[in-house]
């Protein structure tokens, strides 16, 4: 998967690797995914969510990483008696609509909407998914002084 000068690869043993074109920048292992990947393949597993966030969708969980450094941003486990179907995901504007078939229940409960902040819900709190700020990029803010006593 290309990502602004980087390449992200999903290996059949359940390893996700991020490179900068010349060297490996990060690795992440997907728990319980190697057997499923070998059996079903990786269709739909890597899903860009925007703002430098990559979702890795497996039947038991969705895990999101920052593409620049592989930092774990959030994890969404499948509900009890449900699995995610990565190959059935659909993009709608900024949201990724992900099928979560369950052993019963209404179809409306079997679709999850995601974006770079995680599951889309009313009144959620942003996570601050931006990369770490380097010394040269930090704002030059003076330290406030304590009031005299």
- What pTM does this model have? 0.76
Q: What CATH number corresponds to the domain at position 44?
A: 2.40.10.480
Would residue 144 count as lying in a domain?
A: no
Mean pLDDT of all residues in 106-122 = 87
Mean pLDDT of all residues belonging to the chain: 82
Would residue 36 count as lying in a domain?
A: yes
State the residue range of the domain holding 20: 7-122
Q: Check if the beta carbon of residue 70 is closer than 8 Å to that of residue 146.
A: no
pLDDT tens track for 35-64: 888 888 888 899 999 889 999 999 999 999
In sequence order, the β-bridge partners of residue 118 are 115
Q: How many domains does the chain divide into?
A: 1
**Whole-number Å distance between alpha carbons of 24 and 7:** 9
Would residue 18 count as lying in a domain?
A: yes
Would residue 14 count as lying in a domain?
A: yes
pLDDT of residue 126: 65
> Residue 95 contacts by C-beta under 8 Å, 6 or more apart in sequence?
113, 114, 115, 120
pLDDT tens track for 63-88: 999 998 999 999 999 998 899 999 99
């Amino acid at each position: 998967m290309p990502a602004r000068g980087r390449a992200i690869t999903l290996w059949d043993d359940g390893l996700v690797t991020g490179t900068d074109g010349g060297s490996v920048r990060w690795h992440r292992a997907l728990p319980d995914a190697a057997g499923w990947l070998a059996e079903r393949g990786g269709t739909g597993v890597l899903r860009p969510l925007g703002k430098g966030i990559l979702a890795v969708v497996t039947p038991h969980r969705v895990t999101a990483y920052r593409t620049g450094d592989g930092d774990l941003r959030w994890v969404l486990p499948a509900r009890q008696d449900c699995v995610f179907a990565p190959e059935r995901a659909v993009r709608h504007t900024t949201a990724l609509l992900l099928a979560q078939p369950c052993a019963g229940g209404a179809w409306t409960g079997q679709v999850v909407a995601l974006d770079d902040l995680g599951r889309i819900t009313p009144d959620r709190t942003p996570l601050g998914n931006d990369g770490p700020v380097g010394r040269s990029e930090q704002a030059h803010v003076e330290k406030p002084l304590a009031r005299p006593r």
